[in-house]
Amino acid sequence: MVADSRHFSFRRFRHAEDAEMVCRFFLQMLDQQFSSTFTAQALDSYRRKYSESNMSERIAQSNVVIAGLFDDDKLIGLVIGGAPNGGVASLDWVVVAPDYQGQGLGQKLMRFCFHEYAAVGAHKILLYTETENAKRFYEKCGMALEGVHPNHWWGLTHYCLAIQTRYLDPLSESPAQEEESGDNKDGPLL
């Protein structure tokens, strides 16, 4: 568990040179947190799909949200999203380093991401996840189960969850706004 005196911040990646840091952290988390969930074939496919060059191209798109959670200057959490299609944005990956889990930081990272996608015009944000624990986490973040897909990607059952951005509390600040106002306490998610 990390001490409460740390300074946490959120940042959306907007420059191609950020791709190296994003990829390094993502690949580390992929190996640490998903090697028991996915087959070696699936992990290799994700390593290729989220290469530094592909990540650089995604970061360059103004409507794609790729955001980090930082402990001072150390990247400790990451959201990798896709460009909205017809107003629907998709989250490909949400990861928080194991030492930082269980402190509400993942929920704040999700809230930051929700607000960022609302700002680029997405009316809905969806994701797929493979585990019951992850499904419960996303439900805590305000997402609702839309469907269950048995024997889906890589032969795993996937849960589809989504949130409508119109249901975001307009009075709820994103974590970045909380930080600016000096109020960075856990509060209502959205």
> Domains (ranges, CATH) in the chain?
8-181 (3.40.630.30)
Residue 166 confidence (pLDDT):
82
Helices 40-49, 19-34: inter-axial angle, 10-degree rounding: 170
Q: What is the mean pLDDT of residues 2-31?
A: 86
184 vs 75, 102, 143, CA distance in Å?
18, 16, 22
What is the SS3 assignment for 55?
Answer: helix
Q: How would residue 173 be classed by pLDDT, with cut points 50, 70 and 90?
A: low
Q: Give the residue, 134 or 130, on which the prediction is more confident.
A: 134
Looking at residue 183, its pLDDT comes to 40
**Count of other CB atoms within 10 angstroms of residue 38:** 17
Q: What is the DSSP string of 103-116?
A: SSHHHHHHHHHHHH
Of 39-53, 63-77, 152-166, where does the model show the most confidence? 63-77
Supply the pLDDT for residue 169. Answer: 66
User: pLDDT exceeding 70 applies to what percent of the chain?
Assistant: 85
pLDDT digits (tens, 9 = 90+) for 78-98: 999 999 999 999 999 899 999
Give, for 176, the enclosing helix (H) or strand (E): helix 175-181
Q: What is the pTM of this model?
A: 0.81
